[in-house]
């Protein structure tokens, strides 16, 4: 083998080795996705209390008009209803006849929110606040949350999970979900008093009718 041929052979070997090494390095590269980071139940508060549970996922809760797949396996699947929605550059849309919401700080990483019971009766519900940012969402559950008639409860929120680049992402949208909305059953000592009051009213009405009838006969 002459010198020229040997040089070409060495160059081909070096090129092949470099290609193999490059392929090996590529195989070691892992596509990074969002991570839960420091997200915890105290990231969303209502009336100064932390959420009861959280669920982290890559599901956008705004999909299909309200997608519960990101938290249903943690909070339960039954009968979730969309109560309100807001995107970063739009105003909040209330979908409930009973509750109104506000949400501030949209577009950033923290802010405030409220829920108001616009009805004339006290209410209790399971309430989920599902916040989407970048390609991930964290849903926060307030279990058996009581909201009195006409009452407004104030809350705060912040984002602490991480996007694929390891950074805290800015807000994209929020969806408020509710289920098991109910009015509380009266306290045990209240029910007998209510029944007694109805009995008195019934007796009074009966006596008035009786007097009216007697007067007509006379």
Condensed to tens digits (0 to 9), the pLDDT of residues 87-108 reads 998 999 999 999 999 999 998 9
Inter-residue contact 80 to 63 (CB < 8 Å): no
Half-sphere CA count of 24, side-chain side, radius 13 A? 6
Condensed to tens digits (0 to 9), the pLDDT of residues 179-215 reads 999 987 665 554 555 555 555 445 544 554 554 544 4
pLDDT surpasses 70 at 41: yes
Condensed to tens digits (0 to 9), the pLDDT of residues 119-160 reads 999 999 999 999 999 999 999 999 999 999 999 999 999 999
Mean pLDDT for 68-76 is: 97
| Alpha helices, DSSP H, located in 29-116 | 72-75
Look at 145 and 17; give whichever has higher pLDDT.
Answer: 145
3-state secondary structure of 93: strand
Transcribe 127-179 into DSSP letters.
EEEEEEETTEEEEEEEEEEEE-TT-EEEEEEE---B-TTSSPPPEEEEEEEEE
Domains and CATH numbers, the chain: 41-182 (2.60.40)
Q: pLDDT category, 48, cuts 50, 70, 90? A: very high
Closest by CA to 131, choosing from 75, 63, 72, 61, is 61
Mean pLDDT for 153-180 is: 97
Query: Average per-residue pLDDT in the chain?
Result: 82
Q: pLDDT category, 32, cuts 50, 70, 90? A: confident
pLDDT surpasses 50 at 217: no
pLDDT the model gives residue 1: 56
High-pLDDT (> 70) share of the chain, %: 70
């Amino acid at each position: 083998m002459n010198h020229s041929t040997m040089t070409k052979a060495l160059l081909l070997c070096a090129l092949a080795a470099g290609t193999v090494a490059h392929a090996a390095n590529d195989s070691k590269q892992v596509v990074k996705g969002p991570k839960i980071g420091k997200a915890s139940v105290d990231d969303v508060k209502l009336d100064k209390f932390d959420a009861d549970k959280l669920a982290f996922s890559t599901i956008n809760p705004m999909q299909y008009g309200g997608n519960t797949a990101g938290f249903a396996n943690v909070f339960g699947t039954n009968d979730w209803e969309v109560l309100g929605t807001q995107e970063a550059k739009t105003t909040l849309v209330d979908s409930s006849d009973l509750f109104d919401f506000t949400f501030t700080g949209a577009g950033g990483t923290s802010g405030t929110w409220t829920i108001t019971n616009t009805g004339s009766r006290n209410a209790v519900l399971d309430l989920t606040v599902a916040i989407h940012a970048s390609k991930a969402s964290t849903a926060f559950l307030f279990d058996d949350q009581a909201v009195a008639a006409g009452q407004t409860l104030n809350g705060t929120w912040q984002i602490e999970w991480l996007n694929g680049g390891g950074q805290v992402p800015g807000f994209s949208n929020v969806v408020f979900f509710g289920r098991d909305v109910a009015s509380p059953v009266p306290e045990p000592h209240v029910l007998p008093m209510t029944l007694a009051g109805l009995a008195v009213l019934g007796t009074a009405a009966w006596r008035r009718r009786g007097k009216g009838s007697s007067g007509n006969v006379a």
